[in-house]
Amino acid sequence: RLSQIYNELKEGWFLFLSAAMICIFGNIGVTILTYSVDSDSIGAFSAIHKISYVMNVLFIALSKALFPYISASFAKSQHNGLSKIKKTMFPIVSVFLLLSIFLSLLRNPLVNLLFGEEYTGFAFLVIPFAFQVVFAIINNFLGIQSLVGNGYQKEYSSAISVGMVSIVIFNLILIN
């Protein structure tokens, strides 16, 4: 029993590491901002970030539902798995891309409605936050759904590690 637990932990280590890094580094912007901007700006950043957070939560639920379906396709063959990814990725990315465009176009009234007029000066943040979700969805399909679904957890974890370190470095450079 203990060896089975150890094997499960060992097998899932790279996925755990990837998920932990995404959670930690995906929200590092606020932490880095505390060293360079005032608390009002940090509050506005955090508030407006919640718009894209809702989009992300919607996709995470969808992604968790898709993963077993796509993984089963990869179990049949790599070609079958890639075919399922192509069939599901395009419509989902298209919907979230249209949502991002819609949110970007209506960012001022949206921010005013959700957070008040004092936040509309920061409404421009809706644009990068919304489109970041689209890139995260593409990453999910190309990374989690295809690499992990095809048994390449270690490679996915390595790619995520490089990406997360890059995010921290770019945040430090661009904010200062």
Task: Provide block-wise average pLDDT over 10 residues at a time, the chain (176 residues).
Answer: 79 74 70 78 88 91 90 90 93 97 97 95 93 89 84 82 79 68
Residue that the structure tokens 């995010």 belong to: 167
Hey, is 9 helix, strand or coil?
A: helix
Distances in whole angstroms, Cα of residue 116 to Cα of each of 101, 102, 121, 145: 21, 19, 10, 39
**What distance lies between CA 156 and its chain's CA centroid?**
14
pTM reported for the whole predicted model: 0.80
Distance CA 143, CA 169 (A): 22
pLDDT recorded at residue 158: 84
Distance CA 83, CA 79 (A): 6
Residue that the structure tokens 């990068």 belong to: 128
pLDDT recorded at residue 174: 66
pLDDT recorded at residue 170: 77
Distance CA 89, CA 48 (A): 27
Residue that the structure tokens 């949206």 belong to: 110
Count of CB atoms situated within 10 Å of the CB of 137: 22
Q: How many CA atoms lie within 13 A of 108 on its CB side?
A: 2
Residue 116 burial by Cβ neighbours in a 10 Å radius (0-12, 13-18, 19+): exposed
Assess contact for 114 and 52: CB atoms under 8 A: no
> Terminus-to-terminus CA distance in the chain, angstroms?
52
pLDDT recorded at residue 7: 80
Distance CA 135, CA 140 (A): 9
Assess contact for 49 and 129: CB atoms under 8 A: yes
Assess contact for 156 and 18: CB atoms under 8 A: yes
Distance CA 27, CA 69 (A): 29
